[in-house]
Chains A and B, each alone.
Chain A
Amino acid sequence: MTRGTRTVTGALSVAVAGVLALAACSPPPAADGSGSATATGGGSTTNALTIWLQQKPDTGSPLLGGTAGNGQIITPVLDQLVNIAADGTLEPRTAAKWELSSDAKTLTLTLADQKWSDGKPFTADDVLFTLNLYVNPAVKSPIATVLKPIAGYEEVQSGAAKEMSGVKKVDDKTVQISLKTPDVGFMYTLFGATIYILQKDTIGKEDPATVASSPIWVTPGKVPGLGPFTLTAYSAGQRAEFTRNPNFRKPVKFEKLNEVLVTQDVATQQMSSGEMDLTLVAATDVKTVEGMQGVKTVSNEVPGFDRYTINQRKAYLKNPKVRQGILTAIDRAGIISSIYAGAAKPINTSFTSPKVTRDGFNAYAYDPTKAKQLLTEGGWDFNQEFVIREVNNNAQRAAVDQVVLKNLQDIGVKATIKPVDQAQLTDMLTKGDYDALLYGGGIYVADPETNIPMITCANAYPKGANLPNYCNPQVDSLLAQASTTIDEAKRNQILTEAGKLENADVSHLWIAQPTRVYAYSPKITGGIRGGDGMAAALMSVQDWTVK
């Protein structure tokens, strides 16, 4: 063989090897074991939409505490009883109607007339099964405590009973929930929780001890749902593909939905290249997106808010005057106009529901001189370090931290920022190794009863969700009174009183109630209603119109 031939042969060998390698390498296989996580056929059509997968899902389990990623995998397939929209209104889902009795002890649900995605009828048996499954101690669902007010809850938890006596089937389409004590706000807590209705026939066959972490939740074809789609392909931590469920109450107008996990700025950039059809847009990118040809936006206030938990387990943060001083030192109007790009509303209480009248609440307007005075009156030691912990996965919150740091340092507070990994967060909160931590979320706009877990003494962290360990027995007493007050006007008055006390106490360092902006491609012509996150936007998917 001549040298020239050897050279050509060598080059050809490399080329052939390269092509073989390329042919062998394809996207990671789907959970259904098929060779590709993508559908066969040509490129995306107007019959398929691609949306941003906001966070990496893991188990996709509706029985475990919801992360945004898991929520976005679950929401297309499963459905809840009722959805609390971003403006606080209640939207019927699998429960078409609901009625609270005049003594606030019985909630009656009339179920929607629909079938499961596998064609089986949806009945009250499925609702009973679901509620009892969440409460089953073998399942160990952290969401179970939402159902605590229901009669028979303790008996199931202790193992004395298999089902809650307070959940009854009246007929195939009617469920009655009886509470231990009157509770006007219970239904808002129930509807606001991520409780997804599961099919008794299929999920009933799973072992309760392992069902919560079972791989069935991300395996196509394993879980029948009442949602608008069925899961057809799933690539762990990367992408999920769904196909329209023809048995949904109002079938969606397009065949396929793809959710793709990329960073938010990549998703925003892909709006201009046409690779993405819907994404949440960072406040500072809204102007850029509005300049993209054909791309439209829709926005809404979120039902929660951004705030600092301020650690009241520390003696030097117990005095309300200290917390008032720190809040007054923060230029929240400046934060809203710069970091939120004006897309947020200032708040001065955790009670964001319109049932609480906020006239006369202290506005804690930015005033460095007054802030310093309040801190001095509160006995603040200006040699004391004030540690702001920052979770390293949110650019907007990091920017807010920087402003707060500067504001506090300007009035002489020895503020400092210490970063913390997501994986360290629980340890840090449990040990109380922080002074302030910025976080957000929640669904509080429908009814102030939904605030109870975050501000009452009995829910002080780590026992409950009251992260700052705020405790005012008077507030607790008023909230308990409001729970059993049937007269709406009187109830609202009591709630307003509680709100006033909480405003004066500064239970949290409230920053803002953000407005979320969603950008959508020309393929979508309307019908999108947002919320707080991509999963919330999917609640309106049956109303989306496409070209």
Chain B
Amino acid sequence: MKKIYIIWLRELKKYARSKSRIIGSLGMPLLFLIVLGFGLNSFLDVNNGSYLDFIFPGIIAMTVLMASMFSGISVIWDKQFGFMKEMLVAPVSRTKIMIGKTLGGATTAIFQGLLIFIISLFIGIKISSIAGLFLALFFMILIGVSFTALGIAFASRMEDMQAFPLVMNFVVMPMFFLSGALFPLDGIPKALKIISFLDPLTYGVDALRFGLVGISQIPLWIDFVVLAGFCILTISIGAYLFNKTDS
């Protein structure tokens, strides 16, 4: 446990020390929230609520998705800067290293999501209930852990950061756009709808929206079962691939 803790702590320290990373990763979500949110707010009503209220849980999900995926993939930096070797020759199992890195990455990603949440409150968005906030936080943890583990799985198969844009464009962005973060899923063509329901993030966005603004299209227990299953799957795949990676 102590070893997992120190690996987790290292991720947090590095995160807290890199101000540019914190500020830089707020840019895109804020752009979406403010430009799309306010831009479309005036002439769109979704489920009898304002558009801004509708997309803000989706933007938080996006923030956590991107931040966790990025910290998972950044395991490659550890390889390139040699620190991975230091961990691999230590008397510690690779699974523990992987779990420590996953928890560390997820923690920073959730923190990032909470920052967006706080900024949202400042621009006038209201949440429905405090209990809902805790529910949302729980699902942010599930999203954060799942995608950090997925990022580590990718990183275990990648040689350097050059493949990162590939993952961003072909995994992260489609997942985000298909998740129903920006529009309700009932109005879209059937083929697209099927794909959307295959996207695990759809369930995360739905649960966050239920918790934060009280709107939902999928029963909460389904959200939970799907995301928890996805989380277990990505951790297993991540741990398996990380165990096989070269230093």
Partners in one complex: no
Q: Which residues of B contact A (CB under 8 A)?
A: none
Q: Which residues of A contact B (CB under 8 A)?
A: none
